[in-house]
Amino acid sequence: MGIKNAILVTLGVFTLNLGAHATCTCSCTNGQVQAQCSNPADSKPACAADLCSPAPGAAAGAGAAATTAAKSTDQSAATPVNANGELDAKAMVENRQGMLAYSQGNYAEALHLFESSGELNNVSSQIKLGQMYSKGVGTDKDEAKAVAWFRKAADQGNAEAQNALANRYHSGQGIAKNDGEAATWYKKAADQGNANAQSNLAYLYQTGRGVTKNLATAVSWYKKAAEQGDVTAQIALANKYHNGQGTEKDDAQAFSWYRKAADQGDADAAYALGYMYQNGYGVGKDMGESRNWYGKAAEKGHADAIAALKTLGH
Q: What is the pLDDT along the chain (314 residues), one digit of tens a residue?
A: 333 233 223 333 323 333 333 345 555 555 555 555 544 444 444 554 444 444 334 333 333 333 333 333 333 333 333 456 778 899 999 999 999 999 999 999 999 999 999 999 999 999 999 999 999 999 999 999 999 999 999 999 999 999 999 999 999 999 999 999 999 999 999 999 999 999 999 999 999 999 999 999 999 999 999 999 999 999 999 999 999 999 999 999 999 999 999 999 999 999 999 999 999 999 999 999 999 999 999 999 999 999 999 999 86
Q: What is the DSSP string of 124-163?
A: HHHHHHHHHHHHTSSS---HHHHHHHHHHHHHTT-HHHHH
Query: d(Cα 314, Cα 140) in Å, to the nearest integer?
Result: 50
Task: Provide the pLDDT for residue 86.
Answer: 78
Cα atoms found within 13 Å of the Cα of residue 150, Cβ hemisphere only = 27
Query: What is residue 33's three-state secondary structure?
Result: strand
Nearest to 272 by CA among 237, 246, 310: 237
**Phi/psi at 204 (5° precision):** -65, -40
Task: Provide the pLDDT for residue 313.
Answer: 84
Task: Provide the pLDDT for residue 137.
Answer: 98
Task: Provide the pLDDT for residue 47.
Answer: 52
Task: Provide the pLDDT for residue 4.
Answer: 29
Task: Provide the pLDDT for residue 80.
Answer: 33
The secondary structure of residue 28, as a DSSP letter, is E
Q: Are 200 and 171 in contact (CB under 8 A)?
A: no
Query: Positive or negative CA dihedral for 141, 144, 150, 152?
Result: negative
Q: What is the CA radius of gyration of the chain?
A: 29
Label residues 94-131 b or e (16+ Cβ within 10 Å = b).
bbebbbebbeeeebebbbbbbbbbbebbbbbbbbbbbb
Nearest to 24 by CA among 56, 52, 2: 2
Q: Are 139 and 131 in contact (CB under 8 A)?
A: no
- Identify residue 73 by its one-letter amino acid code: T
Nearest to 258 by CA among 197, 306, 216, 279: 279
Task: Provide the pLDDT for residue 152.
Answer: 98
Q: Is the pTM of this model over 0.85?
A: no
Task: Provide the pLDDT for residue 199.
Answer: 98
Query: d(Cα 225, Cα 15) in Å, to the nearest integer?
Result: 42
Q: Are 296 and 270 in contact (CB under 8 A)?
A: yes
Nearest to 198 by CA among 151, 230, 172: 230
Beta bridge partners of 35: 26
Task: Provide the pLDDT for residue 87.
Answer: 82
3-state helix, strand, coil in the chain (%, to 5): 60, 5, 35
